[in-house]
A and B are shown apart, each in its own frame.
Chain A
Amino acid sequence: MKISTFLYCTKQGFKNIGKNILFSMASIATVAACIFLFCLFFSIIQNVRHIVVEAETTVGITVFFNEDTTAEQKQQIGDSIQNRGGVKEIRYISAEEAWETFKEDYFGDRTEELAAAFADDNPLATSDNYEVFLNDIEEQQPMVEYIRSLPGVREVNYANALVSALKGMNTVISILSAVIIGVLFAVSVFLISNTISVAAAFRKRENEIMKLIGATNFMIRAPFVVEGIIIGFFGALIPLCGMYFIYKKAAAYLVTQVLAMSPGTSALDLFSLLPMREIFPQMVAVGLILGVGMGFVVSFFTIRKHLKV
């Protein structure tokens, strides 16, 4: 394609937008709403996934022993778990360590004062345990079943509830977002198609002349496809800019809220939003591809229907 032809088609595409400004604006607004919601759900889903991954890797399986389990048996249990495979890390927490951690987590600044009541009596004397971290969370359930079958094991705790709740939430959000985006997508397709049809009607005379002069299909259709691409591009650009500021604000707000609820804890790792640089490039790429792609495909097929040489 010659540069002059490309420039001509691009110019005509912009002119079409100008001639048909109300319809074009309506189309851009609908595409923008569609892509904004997509970005919103995209960031929610990505963040929930991130929390799930965090939860999966930071929350392990805790194995408690029967009171009469000997140190050798405990060692054997540890070896059996280690040898089963898929174990990222296994750590023995003695009763003393368990008590210290408990005191740090629950007594806070008043550790000395509150712990004094127990004197040398460790209330968690039978709470020595193994903390097991797996490479793949999918292996958690079989591993739990396996550990339960080992002799000397009293109880196995694992983060099943949290992980499955988060996964469930992710599924609900995914379905909900798919439905809403689907509806908005259909409305966008309809509006872009309508805008292009109106533009084609506006330029009917011009297109007829073009056909008789010997313009190719490409030359006649290109301005309309350019129009669709422009609609899609701005329809994506506006929500992406909006999302950039909203996400930044939301991330900052969440940090202050988490810190206010549990200052200086690991909760911040779990419940803070993914950093902008991790989520935004993906969002921009998908948003632009979605907007421009939708504009291109819809205008291409609409104009194909309307203009035949």
Chain B
Amino acid sequence: MIKLKDVNKTYDTGNKAVRGLSLEIKDGEFVFIVGKSGSGKSTLFRLITRETLPTEGEIEVNGRDLVTMRRRDIPKFRRTLGVVFQDFRLLNDRNVFENIAFAQRVIGASSREIRENVPKMLQLTGLSSKYKNLPKQLSGGEQQRVAIARALINQPSVILADEPTGNLDEVNTREIMKLLEDINRHGTTVVVITHSREMVREMNKRVITMEKGRITSDVRPEGYDLEHGLTGIKPMPVRPVPQRAEETHRRRSRRREN
């Protein structure tokens, strides 16, 4: 659960990025946080990941009080989150397998665990055939899938995605959102920060709108039932993402190039 109460964040420059923000996201929800540049979305992201502290207010994520949390407990807390960025943030000198394995290495997983878990993630994200490729040899959509696989491999309870489709075309955007939806369907809370209203409309999920550091609306779609879909949570199945859309996109791109 993510819970913010009367949170204010003023940077040293005097910029009031977040003002009196209160918010609750329950376990298993899929939430979009939308707003223009400077609306405070990214600050909210940084507050939830404990990259920064609020000037005032309370923040609780996955049962931990982030304001009073000791510095040495931060790494353990962050392992309960999976983060995805617009620019993928992959290690360009390492192949797909190593990029995903990296997340396991940093938490001290053994080589055996890595050998077992990474192929599962590769399969889940439809990247099994690309495990040896370097990031620059992948399309934007594929790179973002690597980033999602990396975020998922440590089995976080929350996936935080900051503009995950910002650098992607329409086809890849749909692919990534589909993947995030699948992940959410199996119990992981997904929070997507975006400014793309079009994508949000299509997904029909809870949408929190921010403006000038404040929440201006918190809309749940008609028939929205938090409990629905959360009952009978099963372990995440390992199944490949349909490759069709990716292939269609590549064919089109090739045709355009020719």
Q: Are A4 and B78 in contact (CB under 8 A)?
A: no
Q: Are B91 and A216 in contact (CB under 8 A)?
A: no
User: Whose C-beta in chain B lies nearest to the C-beta of A203?
Assistant: B91
Query: How far does the Cβ of A12 sit from chain B's closest Cβ, in whole Å?
Result: 10
Distance between Cα atoms of A211 and B78 in the complex (Å) = 8
B252 beta carbon closer than 8 Å to chain A: no
Distance between Cα atoms of A212 and B46 in the complex (Å) = 10
Query: How far does the Cβ of A102 sit from chain B's closest Cβ, in whole Å?
Result: 80
Chain B, interface size category, equals 20 to 34
A208 beta carbon closer than 8 Å to chain B: yes
Query: How far does the Cβ of A236 sit from chain B's closest Cβ, in whole Å?
Result: 30
Q: Are B89 and A214 in contact (CB under 8 A)?
A: no
- A residues near B150, Cβ cutoff 8 Å: 213
A2 beta carbon closer than 8 Å to chain B: yes
B49 beta carbon closer than 8 Å to chain A: yes
Q: Per-position contact with A for B102-130: 1 when CB-CB < 8 Å, else 0? A: 11011111110000000000000000000
Q: Are A214 and B49 in contact (CB under 8 A)?
A: no
- A residues near B49, Cβ cutoff 8 Å: 212
Query: How far does the Cβ of B203 sit from chain A's closest Cβ, in whole Å?
Result: 25
A215 beta carbon closer than 8 Å to chain B: yes
B71 beta carbon closer than 8 Å to chain A: yes
Within 8 A of B (CB), among A1-46: 2, 4-5, 8
- A residues near B77, Cβ cutoff 8 Å: 214
In-complex Cβ contact of A208 among B74, B76, B79, B89 (8 A): B89
Given A214-B154, A309-B71, verify A4-B102 contact (CB < 8 Å): no
Q: Are B79 and A5 in contact (CB under 8 A)?
A: no
Given A209-B89, A209-B91, A309-B71, verify A214-B108 contact (CB < 8 Å): no
B158 beta carbon closer than 8 Å to chain A: no
- B residues near A205, Cβ cutoff 8 Å: 89, 91
* A interface secondary structure, majority: helix
Query: How far does the Cβ of A112 sit from chain B's closest Cβ, in whole Å?
Result: 86
Q: List the count of A-B residue pairs having beta carbons below 8 Å apart.
A: 53
Q: Are A214 and B91 in contact (CB under 8 A)?
A: no
A157 beta carbon closer than 8 Å to chain B: no
In-complex Cβ contact of B79 among A4, A214, A217 (8 A): A214
B75 beta carbon closer than 8 Å to chain A: yes
In-complex Cβ contact of B107 among A208, A209, A215, A217 (8 A): A215
Query: How far does the Cβ of A7 sit from chain B's closest Cβ, in whole Å?
Result: 9
A87 beta carbon closer than 8 Å to chain B: no
Q: Are B107 and A2 in contact (CB under 8 A)?
A: no
Distance between Cα atoms of A217 and B109 in the complex (Å) = 16
Query: How far does the Cβ of A98 sit from chain B's closest Cβ, in whole Å?
Result: 80
Q: Are A216 and B89 in contact (CB under 8 A)?
A: no
Q: Specify which of A205, A206, A213, A215 lies most central, judged by the most chain B CB atoms within 10 Å of its CB.
A: A213
- B residues near A2, Cβ cutoff 8 Å: 108, 110
Query: How far does the Cβ of B30 sit from chain A's closest Cβ, in whole Å?
Result: 21
A93 beta carbon closer than 8 Å to chain B: no
Distance between Cα atoms of A215 and B105 in the complex (Å) = 9
Query: How far does the Cβ of A21 sit from chain B's closest Cβ, in whole Å?
Result: 15
Q: Are A213 and B79 in contact (CB under 8 A)?
A: yes
Q: Are B108 and A213 in contact (CB under 8 A)?
A: no
A219 beta carbon closer than 8 Å to chain B: yes
Query: How far does the Cβ of B78 sit from chain A's closest Cβ, in whole Å?
Result: 4
- B residues near A53, Cβ cutoff 8 Å: none
Q: Are B106 and A215 in contact (CB under 8 A)?
A: yes
B83 beta carbon closer than 8 Å to chain A: yes
Q: Are B91 and A309 in contact (CB under 8 A)?
A: no
A210 beta carbon closer than 8 Å to chain B: yes
Given A205-B89, A205-B91, verify A212-B105 contact (CB < 8 Å): no
Q: Specify which of B75, B76, B91 lies most central, judged by the most chain A CB atoms within 10 Å of its CB.
A: B75
- B residues near A215, Cβ cutoff 8 Å: 75, 106-107
Distance between Cα atoms of A213 and B160 in the complex (Å) = 12
Q: Are A213 and B110 in contact (CB under 8 A)?
A: no
Distance between Cα atoms of A193 and B74 in the complex (Å) = 27
Within 8 A of A (CB), among B192-243: none
- A residues near B91, Cβ cutoff 8 Å: 205-206, 209
Q: Are A210 and B71 in contact (CB under 8 A)?
A: no
Chain B residues in the interface with A (C-beta under 8 A): 49, 51, 71-72, 74-79, 81, 83, 89, 91, 102-103, 105-111, 150, 154
- Sample 8 A-B pairs with CB under 8 A, ordered by A number: A4-B105, A209-B89, A209-B102, A213-B102, A213-B154, A214-B75, A214-B76, A214-B154
Known: A4-B111, A212-B51, A215-B75. 10 other contacts (CB 8 A): A4-B105, A4-B108, A205-B91, A213-B78, A213-B150, A214-B76, A214-B77, A214-B78, A214-B107, A309-B75
Chain A residues in the interface with B (C-beta under 8 A): 2, 4-5, 8, 205-206, 208-217, 219, 309
